[in-house]
Chains A and B, each alone.
Chain A
Amino acid sequence: MSTIGYDSWAVDLADVGAVYPLQGWEVVMTVVGVAFWIGWHRIQYVRESAHLEAARHAGDEEKIAKALERY
């Protein structure tokens, strides 16, 4: 039993192709991968919106002046 389809390298390498685990599940892995990507954008967008909204109301003039002086 091996997750990659081979439990020994006593083979002719000319006959060997894919050697990764979960062969046959590539489409499912793609769906999971795409969900991870889209989910990342969603999480980032929500957090960024909250961050920018909070920043709009920070309102500390002294700190803003310092930020401008910092260049």
Chain B
Amino acid sequence: MDGNLNAITTIFTEFYYWVTVVFMFLIHVGFCMYEVGASRRRNHMHTLMKNIMIIPLVSVTFYFFGWWIYWAFPDFPLFGGLNLEAGSANLPWAENMATHLGDRITGVFWAAFLLFSWTAASIVSGAVIERIRSSALWLHAVLIGSVFWIIDAAWGWHYAGWMVRELGYHDAYASGVIHAIAGGYALGVIMVLGPRIGKFAADGTPRDIPPHNPWMLVIGIFLIYTGFWGFYAACNVPLISPEAIGGQITGTTWTATNIYLAPTTLGAITFNFIMSLSGGLMAAYVVSKGDAFWTFSGGLAGIITASAGNDLYHPIQAMLVGAVGVVIIYNLHYWVERKFKLDDAVGAVAVHGYAGVVGLIIAGFLLWGAPSSPFEGYATVNPLGQTIGAFIMFFVLGFLPAFIVSKLQAAVGVLRIPEEVELQGLDYAEHHAYEDAMAEITEATRLHLAATGK
């Protein structure tokens, strides 16, 4: 850190990412509350534990190999080999991946990506509540959180990723690289897992399984919104000079950039975050006729739909994109549910998956011709590149691996809990122990009163 300007920039960047990580922790708090609120009382503790344990399992695996994938895979395998040189500084035995006074950024940058990993895994967790074995979900959490999403990030969310260079793929705030892939992954799991008992009538008509605590859902979704602010900030490089970027930008004006090192501002994305949230909420309220669940989720879906291009959109465009996305995903959710008898307990496939796909394609048209990168030789943003990108995110890296792994788990009987347990509820042991303890202490107290004659 030679010189005061370098020192201040480095410390500012370190603190900036640290703050985003703390904010993003609220996403996971929100997901936990949302899932528990949506589950029935007899499944509370297991639903909570299922989501909480995503944190350590994805964290340690992201440390062991996930972070290395991001740096080694930008061209692998279609456009070159593994980038072992870039990867070597991000292996778990590299000095930079520890307490190192000469590197203040790797730790916070790693953590910012890690919090995205938790989010991807947690999105899948919500769709499968009340019937998946925890061990099965945790394997999926490691796969989506520390393997598949970070491969897609290396390809399409990296300044040198092949999807950016060859396709002009543009996904500044992760419509595809987090949400489309996680939604596609959730779809692959629930197609094999099957619906909860009672979800569909004998004639195939879907039944609503209402959340046991709508108020908990509200708090959960508001915490997710709050964490999403941090997520947006974490997607930016906060301050960098054209010289440090080393691309085609001329002059000496320092700027914030998106992950592709293309210029944007924190002010712009703040405009667009709020306006796309608003467009999503308003459209969802109308299309769902004021249904609380869908209105809350619609706000999230609005942001997700606009996220691919929210570094460049006008705020009114962000609002309309969010609104259009919500109308599409709301109708698509119910059509898929009726047609294919799929039980997505929290609407994760729609809110994240379909919204992510729709958002990517819309960005291809709205940003058609815009530079995807500050570097020479990169394709510009275009509808075909965005559509191919959406297919890779949702289907190739999301749906397909989830479906295959779930099929294998189902074949050996380790995917779904037994029917008897589903009926009793996963918390049967805790509830039985609670009731037995309550009965025992009540009886003991009664005997004590009788013996003392009071």
Contacts and interface: CB of A to CB of B under 8 A. Distances in A.
Interface residues on B, range: 35 or more
Contacts of A13: 101
Interface in A42-60: 44-45, 48, 51-52, 55-58, 60
A71 B101 contact: no
Given A17-B100, A20-B98, A70 B425 contact: yes
B398 to A, nearest CB: 23
A45 B423 CA distance: 21
Interface string A1-41: 00000000000011011111001001101100110110011
A52 B133 contact: yes
B41 A70 contact: yes
State the 8 A-B residue pairs at the shortest beta-carbon distance, nearest first: A26-B93, A55-B421, A16-B101, A18-B95, A20-B99, A30-B92, A56-B420, A45-B135
Interface of A: 13-14, 16-20, 23, 26-27, 29-30, 33-34, 36-37, 40-41, 44-45, 48, 51-52, 55-58, 60, 63-64, 66-68, 70-71
Contacts of B93: 26-27, 29-30
**Chain A contact surface mostly:** helix
Contact of A70 (B42, B101, B103, B429): B42
A70 B41 CA distance: 6
Contacts of B414: 45
A33 to B, nearest CB: 7
Contacts of B425: 67, 70
Given A16-B101, A44-B134, A52-B421, 5 more contacts: A13-B101, A18-B98, A44-B138, A55-B418, A60-B432
A52 to B, nearest CB: 6
Contacts of B57: 37, 40
Nearest to B135: A45
9 contacts: A14-B2, A18-B95, A34-B64, A36-B60, A37-B64, A63-B432, A63-B435, A67-B428, A70-B425
Interface of B: 1-2, 40-42, 57, 60-61, 63-64, 92-95, 98-103, 133-135, 138-139, 212, 414, 417-418, 420-421, 423-425, 428-429, 431-432, 435
A19 to B, nearest CB: 5
B133 A26 contact: no
Contacts of B40: 70-71
Contacts of B428: 55, 58, 63, 67
